[in-house]
A and B are shown apart, each in its own frame.
Chain A
Amino acid sequence: MLRYIALKVGRAVFVVWAAFTLTFVLLFVLPADPVDLLFDPAELNAIPPEVRRQVADNYGFNQPVLLQYLDRLGHALRGDFGESVQSGRPVTAAILDMLPSTLALASGALVLALLIAFAVAFVATSTRQEWLRNLLEALPSGAVSVPVFLSGILMLQVFSFRLGWFPAFGDQGASSLVLPLITLAIPVSGPIAQLLVRSFATEFRSGYVTTSWAKGATRGRIVAGDVFRNASLPALTIAGITFGNLIAGSVITETVFARKGLGRMTQTAINTLDVPLVQGIVVLVAVTFATINLVVDLIYPLLDPRLRATLAVPAPGPS
């Protein structure tokens, strides 16, 4: 078991390093020059070369690429990602500033999405009404069929500007979180509900369920007791996808609701080729992602006895 844990931790570290490196490569593949982006686009032709050189010098952009990489990696290992090219702020401070509001948004939306998904799957499996089941099974696709920015903007029009129930922008208190949470949770809940509905149905036809039927359990107890537990595994599997959806969704949600946050910061950082900032964000995202996976890896065997059994044999568990 200890070996298993060490292995998983090693992998997590690798993922973070590789994400750091790949991002660095990607940013250098991009055709724009970060120095140019510090000037007015209409002025570009007129910037004297010595000025350009001086600015590049300021950020170390004129050193050999490999040297820049090693330098950044060395600093990153010590938790220092340097200063943002566009604002001059230390990257760590800038990110820590944004982290709480994004965390509140993303984790809140995730919880809400899980609630929606489980509710949909639970009702769809336990109901005997064909039409209701069909309707519920269509909900996940409905959830992902409206662009986040459109649903967000429409909700603002109604609940903020017409009814005045919620503030339209900023992040003051819980009421300003309601609309963004719903906006973000809907598309995130889609894929989860989709997988849950399917695996609930699959598990429902499984042998052990038949056994339970035979033992006289009710439909509701079977769904709540057996199916729920076993069918939740795939939901854990798509934690990674959900994570990606949350990040992508938060960019747009934060933009629409004018919330400060990591999503918007990522977009701006990429748009301005703010290398240190992008790297800092990617490492944070990768660390979070790797940690989530690590946790999933470690609790997966606890949830699925079939896998716990195979763990004794040194076969890799799903990661």
Chain B
Amino acid sequence: MSDLRSAIENAGPGRRKWPWISAGVAVLLVVTGIAYAATRGGGAAPGAAGGGEPVRGGTLQFALIDYQRSPDPQWGTNYAESLIGNNITDKLTWQDPKTGEITPWLAESWEYNKDLTEFTFHLRKDVTFSDGARFDAAAVKANFDQYVRGDKALGVNPNGATLLPGYIETLTPDDFTAVVRFAKPLASFLQASAFTANAQPGFLSPATLRLSAKERTDPRKVIGTGPFVYESWQEQAKTVLVKRAGYNWSPPALGHKGEAYLDRVVFNTIPEASVRTGSLTSGTIDATLDVGTTDEKPLAAQGYKIIYRGVSGTAIFFNFNSQLFPTNDIAVRRAIQAGWDREAVRKTVLTDSYSVATSVLAPSVPGYVDYGGTILKFDPDKARRILDEAGWAPGADGIRVKDGKRLEVKLLGINNLVVNKPAYESIQQDLKKIGIDLQLTVVPIPDYTANQAKAKTDWNITAANRSRNDPAVLNLQYGPQLGNGAYVTRDSVGVDLDEVTQTLGRLELTLDPQTRKQYAKAAQDLLLDKYALVNPVYNPSQVIAHAPSVHGIIFDAQSRNHFVDAWKSNGK
């Protein structure tokens, strides 16, 4: 009897647990249900928009996917580093994001010699670093010297060596004149002086340049001339910038006078796309970069503003290995160019902020030519015909065969952009229909770099993009002496090495806009049409969604953001 009673007593806690468990199950169901309902629900309307006069003050809470690993803007290979670097340092020149024209910034004017080996900059005289030091020709020289050569004693890498190849020295004929000299013509240097992407030439105070790499990890010691200065830096979590008092030298092209409007900008790192979007709609943050492609439409419908700019430079490209079977056959390369449905990629994978590539250059790069109606047009019949004529006959499994070898094309790509994998899969589906077996290996960056080292012998296609808003990017990427993206050598069948070298190399020899345009067209004709060395896929974009109360976030020519002109309606 007592046994029975005790059993009942002991069953008690179990019973009391039961509602708890059912509650757990219920919560799970609710979670699913509500998450589902979130798609239908209109969501709370964000704060009312207010245009008109800029309001001073306030903190902008900004979110992005990457985190800044080092506060040193001259160092760094990710987007967060260049984005933040742009707001604490200034450059010699400002490239107009619309026209690509180089306009004054810290340099009021400039001239160059005929050979394009000597560039003379006349500097503004009223610029100071935030530690009070004067910005002058000596500062320019100290920066460029260390930027290109590094400093072993300080542990500083030669961060700028790839941007400024052939840099010899900077001369300082007077306090506010800097002459930058190169060993060979470098037309792209003028654009490089405005470069705002990774490892950028933003000017640091001479005091900062004397610090070791280790000491520069203290953000308060990293001093620039920019509209903001570091307040704090929490690795992995956030970087906080406050406005620089007395700043008055933003690029004249921006039409902004004086200090930044915002008191403070907080860059929050949020790795997950759904969390960035949710934080925006719940009002925790004011703006977010790296908006998930499927979130754009719902956000816009809820009244959030979507702003974007295509990444300048090349499109996401499939670079063909012109040496390796089967992409050493121009017929295969042409068939791939014509064999995939642009419309399908646009409809299922891309949003209005992105675009299907119509050339190897992005449309914003000076000298861009549209091939959307000719070479880069979906034409499966043409693709089949090209392959038929080249002797590729359909095999038993639908994949074409020639001389007993299947038409297998191996692609190496990076999975850093969410759009890449589905876009490549879409192309894979289309190519299968015309008898090409595109095999995808889309991996994280370290594995990409490891495999890239063997690309010449192992991969038919490498897929990536390069951010540089200057047509000379084609030379950097495909010049046989430089990037040699298509692995053109004397052994490449049907490709004239010297012709490629010369046609691309000419882009560094002139800064005359008309001549450069011709050269750029010739280069694109050669890469896309004559030798079909590349299949451009889509133009990646930097997309920001922000509350309607946020105004004036600027995209520069490299699609990085500047906050000097940004403000919030409520000034909070």
Q: Which residue numbers of A lie inside 8 Å of B, CB to CB?
A: 30-33, 36-48, 51, 54-55, 57-58, 83-84, 86-90, 94, 97-98, 119, 122-123, 126-129, 132, 135-136, 139, 153-158, 160-162, 164, 167-171, 216, 218-220, 223, 255-261, 264-265, 268, 271-273
Contact = CB atoms under 8 A, between A and B. Distances in A.
Contacts of B533: none
Interface string B25-45: 000001110110010000000
B476 A33 contact: no
B518 interface: no
B254 interface: no
B35 A43 contact: no
A57 B152 contact: yes
A37 B275 contact: no
Contacts, number: 217
Contacts of B18: 132
A47 B367 CA distance: 26
> Which 9 A/B pairs are nearest by Cβ-Cβ distance?
A32-B450, A127-B14, A218-B6, A161-B278, A88-B213, A260-B236, A31-B450, A42-B466, A260-B237
B69 interface: yes
Contact of A39 (B162, B274, B444, B447): B162
Contacts of A32: 446-447, 449-450
Contacts of B394: none
Interface in B254-301: 268-272, 274-275, 278-279, 281-282, 284
Contacts of A90: 214
Contacts of B38: 157, 161-162
Given A220-B6, A258-B271, A41 B31 contact: no
A170 B199 CA distance: 28
A134 to B, nearest CB: 12
A123 B13 contact: yes
Contact of A219 (B7, B445, B448): B7
A164 B21 CA distance: 24
B450 A33 contact: yes
24 contacts: A39-B77, A43-B466, A43-B483, A44-B449, A47-B161, A57-B152, A83-B155, A86-B70, A88-B155, A89-B214, A97-B234, A98-B235, A127-B10, A153-B274, A154-B32, A156-B274, A157-B34, A157-B274, A160-B278, A255-B272, A259-B237, A261-B236, A264-B236, A271-B445
B426 interface: no
Contacts of A43: 162, 466, 476, 483
B35 A40 contact: no
Interface in B181-212: 198-199
Contacts of A223: 10
A33 B284 CA distance: 40
A52 B18 CA distance: 64
Given A37-B445, A273-B446, A46 B162 contact: yes
Given A153-B274, A156-B278, A54 B158 contact: yes
Given A41-B448, A42-B466, A123-B17, A36 B275 contact: no
B245 interface: no
A183 B9 CA distance: 33
B465 interface: yes
A38 B35 contact: no
Contact of B477 (A42, A57, A155, A255): A42
A156 to B, nearest CB: 6
Contact of A46 (B2, B32, B476): B476
B216 interface: yes
A42 B269 contact: no
Nearest to A57: B152
A45 B482 contact: yes
B450 A168 contact: no
A21 B13 CA distance: 51
Given A127-B10, A132-B14, 14 more contacts: A36-B450, A36-B452, A37-B446, A41-B448, A42-B483, A43-B476, A46-B482, A89-B217, A132-B18, A139-B21, A154-B32, A162-B38, A219-B6, A265-B236
Given A219-B6, A220-B6, A271-B444, A260 B162 contact: no
Contacts of A42: 464-466, 477, 483
Nearest to A126: B10
Contacts of B444: 271
B384 interface: no
A282 to B, nearest CB: 17
